[in-house]
């Protein structure tokens, strides 16, 4: 026997989404996948069948989007695949277990760091009030603690990290983690390190704009062209005056590529040429060597021509003398 769903009960029924979802997961979930998740939560109340084709029609999404969404939800721990279907994960229980596990893993050494923990608590309180309107998800607390230990950031750098991600409208954990990894790679630990990094980035941006202008790149530089410039500036430590010398050497070439410019600058770097003065002296020396080589080649060519002329005349007179003797 199969009971039919009472239509009145659906009219007055509600589908509950826990607050932890809005605090922890909403900002990072793609819009189409959010539609899929909400509808799956709704279906789970009525033990509805999860059919990819039906989901595609019901949600007006392409089948490949549905498949990608299901894979995402399974990977991120929103649903669990079973032999006969899927189960919606209880996010409240999952979060509670994670927090409990983190507390169980805490060492006595960390617990004894009262002064340090007090600073962290003040930091978390500040971040919670400024960026989450006082409703920061509980797992953010442990993540902030982990990031500070992992990356060695001080409190002010952590504030700048959240401020940067917030300004980009991307205050979700994956993005915060990615930015933090980038800052660590640039050896940022203190606010002074961060200030130097920002100044270097601003300088790099000005150099890129100036090069794009000089190269006539009105639509901007490509990712690969920017990578070349970053190598010249960050790795070779060259400033615009040096790079501009290389740019001027492309004026006689039609459609000179960044690859061509890079070969010039790379050669200077490998020769340990650092300043514009050193480079200009090197170019003058090379120019003189080229001029001397051409003059030498011209002289050798002239001597060879004269030698051939002399040989031909000698051969001519030898033949004439032989004829007269005969």
- To the question of domain 10-93 being in CATH 1.10.10.10, the answer is yes
Residues of the chain falling short of pLDDT 70: 1-11, 48-49, 96-117, 252-255, 292, 295-297, 299-326
Q: What is the pLDDT of residue 240?
A: 93
Q: Please give the Cα distance from 180 to 66 (Å, whole number).
A: 32
CB 151 within 8 A of CB 184: yes
Q: What is the pLDDT of residue 235?
A: 92
Domain ranges of the chain: 10-93, 106-189, 194-274
CB 242 within 8 A of CB 268: yes
Task: Supply angle C-alpha 248, 230, 160, rounded to 5.
Answer: 140
Q: What is the pLDDT of residue 2?
A: 41
Q: What is the 3-state secondary structure of 285-317?
A: HHHHHHHHHHHHHHHHHHHHHHHHHHHHHHHHH
CB 39 within 8 A of CB 59: yes
Q: What is the pLDDT of residue 106?
A: 46
Q: Please give the Cα distance from 20 to 320 (Å, whole number).
A: 113
Going by C-alpha positions, the residue among 98, 108, 40 that lies closest to residue 74 is 40
Polymer length in residues for the chain:
326
Q: What is the pLDDT of residue 138?
A: 80
């Amino acid at each position: 026997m199969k009971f039919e769903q009472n239509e009145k009960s659906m009219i007055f029924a509600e589908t509950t989404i826990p607050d932890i979802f809005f605090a922890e997961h909403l900002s990072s979930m793609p819009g189409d996948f959010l539609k899929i998740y909400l509808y799956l939560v709704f279906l789970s109340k009525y033990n509805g069948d999860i059919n990819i084709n039906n989901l595609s029609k019901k949600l007006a999404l392409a089948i490949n989007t549905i498949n990608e969404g299901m894979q995402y939800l399974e990977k991120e721990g929103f649903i669990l695949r079973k032999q006969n279907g899927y189960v919606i994960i209880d996010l409240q229980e999952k979060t509670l277990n994670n927090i409990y596990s983190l507390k169980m893993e805490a060492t006595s050494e960390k617990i004894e760091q009262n002064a340090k923990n007090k600073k962290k608590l003040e930091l978390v309180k500040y971040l919670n009030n400024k960026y989450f309107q006082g409703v920061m998800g509980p797992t953010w607390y442990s993540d902030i603690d982990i990031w500070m230990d992992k990356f060695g950031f001080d409190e002010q750098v952590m504030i700048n990290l959240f401020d940067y991600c917030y300004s980009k409208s991307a205050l979700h954990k994956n993005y915060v983690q990615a930015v933090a990894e980038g800052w660590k790679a640039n050896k940022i630990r203190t606010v002074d390190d961060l200030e130097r990094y920002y100044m270097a980035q601003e300088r790099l941006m000005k150099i890129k704009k100036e090069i794009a202008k000089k190269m006539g790149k009105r639509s901007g530089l490509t990712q690969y062209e920017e990578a070349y410039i970053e190598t010249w500036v960050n790795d070779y430590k060259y400033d615009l005056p040096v790079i501009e010398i290389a740019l001027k050497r492309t004026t006689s070439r039609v459609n000179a590529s960044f690859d061509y410019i890079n070969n010039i600058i790379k050669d200077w770097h490998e020769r340990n040429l650092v300043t514009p003065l050193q480079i200009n002296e090197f170019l003058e020396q090379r120019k003189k060597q080229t001029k001397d080589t051409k003059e030498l080649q011209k002289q050798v060519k002239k001597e060879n021509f004269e030698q051939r002329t002399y040989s031909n005349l000698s051969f001519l007179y030898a033949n004439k003398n032989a004829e007269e003797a005969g």
